[in-house]
Structure 1
Amino acid sequence: MNAQTLSTPNSTPAPASDGKKWAIVGGGMLGLTLAMRMAKQGHDVTLIEAAPVLGGLASVWNLGDIVWDRHYHVTLLSDSRLRNLIAEIGLEDKMKWVETKTGFYTGGKFYSMSDTKEFLSFPPLNLIEKLRLGGTIFYASKIKNWKRLERITVEKWLRRWSGNSVFEKIWEPLLKCKLGEAYKKTAASFIWAHTSRMYKARRTGLKKEMFGYVEGGYRTIIERMEEQLQQLGVKIKAGCPTSKVEKGTDGQFTIEFANDEPDAKFDRVIMTTPNAILDRVCVDLSVEEKQKFSNVSYLGIVCASLLLKKPLSVYYVTNLTDDWVPMTAVIEMTTIVDPQELGGNSVVYLPKYVPAEHEMFEKSDEEVKESFLSALERMYPEFTRDDVLAFEISRVRNVMAIPTLRYSESLPEMKSSVDGLYIVNSSYILKGNLNVNESITIAEDAMETVLKSELQTTV
């Protein structure tokens, strides 16, 4: 990749290094952010990624004749950390904002839920039920003490505030789509985090949703970050899956790789990978730490990306509540992204969230494709399989840690029992649901808390 000169803070020389060699394992947005922040402080950083490309869940791939995001992402007006990063790397002028619509598919019919008027006319609910649903959303958005919501299940909390009928008509189908049967052990902090973020995206109460994206999608963001990391002297090792991290008697860590890459030595290591990898790779962690990490339940995703000749609907997201539908939602990216960036076509995502051990991960691509396309034919009478220009499937077993009861109290410390080994991954997202803004927040907060004392440089 050709580096370019950028009018950003990168042009300022970094402070002198403290001499320690740091390894950051995991090249998703969290790892990329940590690497950039540390390099700007003058630290000697190597970024290690198992996949051949950087980005993690925000990576891109070929979809027919275009290159676009492997999974769906959107920027909200309230995503201050992400928006600040985009401005910092010189991409603020590439940001596009669009007013979007939200739909519901329930009882075999589509309904718009994009403003107050449509909300009040939503047929599946009577007036009292609508008021209770709206009141629950509003109340959740105003809660400040989120920790108390970790002590009650999401089902019990929603039944209390929305009522049984609203829970069974709206909340339960949505929770099952998103979490499967795991919703029964999920804390109410989950719905608080989701509702708060989406509510803040509205400019004025329940009136407008403004979503944004950077021209070119996350390819643009990741390429620019990689360029700046190279300018800052960060060494990038992509296509290097880590098989073992072990601290020697000399106080240094040896990282072994699962390919032919030679072992590497570091003074400090930050792991940003999912917990399942920690248990296997970090051999020096205590039994108690490994147990705590393994106790975290993860939600996985099977996500289909479709390149279509024409859009399916006017809704950015269509929430699906009918139990026969095999997907969690229908995400129509062309409601946000200019079709010219997509070759004049439309990109649609069909995600299905399932537990990491779910049988869906064992289904063939053809089985998933047939199931999803059959559902689209039933839902959208004007859709035909001739509209499909490309169909790709991504499977990721460990996407989001499920916030179970008293979740924040059960996590080990980021500063592990092994001196110099830190765990800074998405399982530490406590006040939100997994998204890029929260990943950046975890990285930047860790810089100011657990890593601060280690990162004092001698200038």
Structure 2
Amino acid sequence: MPTPPRPPAATDRTPRAHWAVVGGGMLGMTLAHELRKRGVRVTLLEAAPELGGLASAWTLNDAQSGRQVTWDRHYHVTLLSDTRLRRLLEEIGLADELRFVETKTGFYTGGRMHSMSSTLEFLTFPPLRLLEKLRLGATIFAASKMRDWRRLERVPVTDWLRRWSGDGAFEKVWLPLLQAKLGDAHKRVSAAFIWAHISRMYAARRTGHKKEMFGYVPGGYARLLERFADVLDEAGVDLCTDAPVAAAVARPGGGVELRLADEGGSMAFDHVVFTTPSSVVARVVPGLSDEERRRHEGIEYLGIVCASLLLKKPITEYYVTNITDGWVPLTAVIEMTTLVDPAELGGRFLVYLPKYATGDDPVFDRSDDELREEWLAALEKMHPGFSRDDVVAMRFSRVRSVMALPTLGYSERLPPMQTSVPGVWVVNSAHILKGNLNVNETIQVADQAIAGPLAAALQAPPRRPDALPDAALAAS
């Protein structure tokens, strides 16, 4: 049962609107932070035992040394161009700890590894002829200069890339990368998808003086989340974990009642903001109109199965290895300790093996043992110097709803943040329209909501405060 929110201070005689934020990931935590700064009462509810969502950390047990290593459950980096995330780090007192490291990019294609970390390496990339390289480079440059992303929403990504890069570069590079990242869903995705990826990486290189510079906070997101939670708590935000929401319904006298799962009771608020995936919203908000429900259910999500490997020695010099060979059952290989000091990991080396797939893909139902055997065998074939004897820990994360796929005409079908249920709002990562899923874009969605749809509600007085209990847990 979740911890009941604290009562208001006895000296506080001014009625204040009470907001609930459902979902304790970086988006939910940022929304709670910004709402509290505007003087309202805030309760943050998270279904899991800890805050963080996709950014949460977990523990890897070093089977040989007996030590435990805590690091991010999924791989995350901060770019020099991630100005909103860096501003948040400043607010919570971690900006001075941020470390930036120059990294390299690899390409595994045709059974061989190639470096793709400089202009010279790009120009000498063996799989492509000179004209194909020039057209590929022109595609990237053109995308970095485009601003009309809505026009790109109407064009299939395959058509756009083939037209700009030509058949050779498309078949050898773009199509294999799209299939590795999106599977068959790449046929439904618009050109805005690749535009967002190119724009972010191009901005990072421009900010980093043409170098690939990635940053992290020592201690990883475990450190960041711990500090952020402390800041929220000190500001008076009520943090409730182990608090899954089963339903949100409008109260006859005004406000919203949240009913918690597993006989967790109910809570009443003036406003409730859901930051959870749209599939969850469609399930737990019964008062949505048919059109709203159709829109939420119509959002297609890309999920991830991601293995964390703790190793005796590194696999490669590249932070990310992009893969174009279709036999490899992985989207990429992420060598995190090209960025993170191995001393933070007990002297070990951390590698992530992500496989992105739509939520109905059979990969989510395969056992850890099956995936371990298949994926380690692939690593041995890709990297002759790698041995599974070097693996001291391997753990799998499975999340079916990670990133909303920017399908054709996506923004035209996106549900609005304000729902037809009075007091119920939806602000989630599906509202990322001009970027790809990353922490910087996610917290920018919170800013857009605060400055836009939520602004008027923040100015309004509380709804009949006499009819609203003090968010105390009531027996269901």
Identity %: 58
SS of 2:417's equivalent in the other structure is coil
**Aligned twin of 1:51:** 48
Q: Which moved more, 1:367-376 or 1:206-215?
A: 206-215
CA shift for structure 1 position 17: 6.5
Could you tell me whether the CA contact under 8 Å between 2:418 and 2:425 is conserved in 1? yes
Change (3 A) 1:23 1:171: same
User: Do the aligned partners of 1:116 and 1:206 also contact (CA within 8 Å) in 2?
Assistant: no
Number of residue pairs matched by the alignment: 444
Within 1, Cα distance between the matches of 2:287 and 2:336? Answer: 44
Aligned to 1:12: none
State the SS of the aligned residue for 1:451: helix
C-alpha distance in 1 between matches for 2:346 and 2:459: 49
Quote the Cα distance in structure 1 between the aligned partners of 2:161 and 2:232.
45
SS of residue paired to 1:372: helix
How far apart in 1 are the matches of 2:357 and 2:207? 34
Q: Classify the secondary structure of the residue corresponding to 2:318.
A: coil
AA aligned opposite 1:376: L
Q: TM-score, normalised by structure 1?
A: 0.95
1:206 shift after superposition: 8.5
Residue 435 to residue 16, structure 1, CA distance change in 2 (3 Å): farther
**Which residue of structure 1 lines up, in the alignment, with residue 392 of structure 2?**
389
Tell me, what secondary structure is at the counterpart of 1:344?
coil
SS at match of 2:265: coil
Is 1:35 aligned to residue 32 of structure 2?
yes
SS in 1 for 2:457: coil
What does residue 17 of structure 2 align with?
20
Give secondary structure in 2 for the equivalent of 1:455.
Answer: helix
What are the residue-to-residue correspondences of 1:168-207 with 2, within 5 Å? Answer: 168-203=171-206, 207=210
Distance 1:432 1:204, change over 3 A: closer
CA contact (8 A) 2:80 2:208 kept: no
Task: Indicate if the aligned counterparts of 1:17 and 1:42 stay in contact, CA closer than 8 A.
Answer: no
Is residue 2:362 matched to residue 1:356?
no
Q: Secondary structure at the match of 2:309?
A: strand
Matched ranges for 1:71-150 at <5 A: 71-150=74-153
- Which residue identity lines up with residue 333 of structure 1 in the other structure? M
SS of alignment partner, residue 399 of structure 1: strand
Moved more, 418-427 or 251-260: 251-260
Q: What is the match of residue 251 of structure 1?
A: 254
Provide the C-alpha distance between the structure 1 equivalents of 2:412 and 2:157, rounded to a whole number of angstroms: 18
Match of 1:237 among 214, 236, 240: 240
Which shows bigger deviation, 201-210 or 120-129? Answer: 201-210
Equivalence map 1:290-329=2 (5 Å): 290-329=293-332
Q: CA deviation at 1:175?
A: 0.3
Alpha carbons of 1:36 and 1:204: their partners in 2 closer, same or farther (altered >3 Å)? closer
Contact 1:61 1:68 in 2 (8 A): yes
- Aligned counterpart, 1:345: 348
Q: Distance in 2 between matches of 1:57 and 1:26?
A: 11
CA distance, structure 2, for counterparts of residue 258 and residue 100 of structure 1 = 45
Instruction: Evaluate the alpha carbon distance shift between residue 40 and residue 259 of structure 1 in structure 2; reply closer, same or farther with a 3 A threshold.
Output: same
Residue 256 to residue 196, structure 1, CA distance change in 2 (3 Å): same
> CA 1:416–1:373 in 2, change beyond 3 Å: closer, same or farther?
same
Q: In structure 1, the residue corresponding to 2:360 is in which secondary structure? A: coil
Letter in 2 for 1:88: E
Runs of 4+ in 1 over 4 A off after TM superposition: 15-18
The Cα shift of 1:409 comes to 0.9
3-state SS in 2 of match to 1:326: coil
Unaligned runs of 5+ residues in structure 2 are: 1-11, 62-67, 462-476
Which residue identity does 1:78 align to in structure 2?
A: S
Question: Gaps (5+ residues) in structure 1?
Answer: 1-14
Is this contact kept in 1: 2:250–2:423, CA < 8 A?
A: no
SS of the aligned residue for 2:455 comes to coil
User: What TM-score do you get using the length of structure 2 for normalisation?
Assistant: 0.91
Task: Give the residue type in structure 1 aligned to 2:237.
Answer: V
Deviations 1:226-267 (A, max 9, x none): 001111111111011111111121212111112342211111
Alpha-carbon distance between aligned partners in 2 of 1:267 and 1:241, rounded to the nearest angstrom: 19
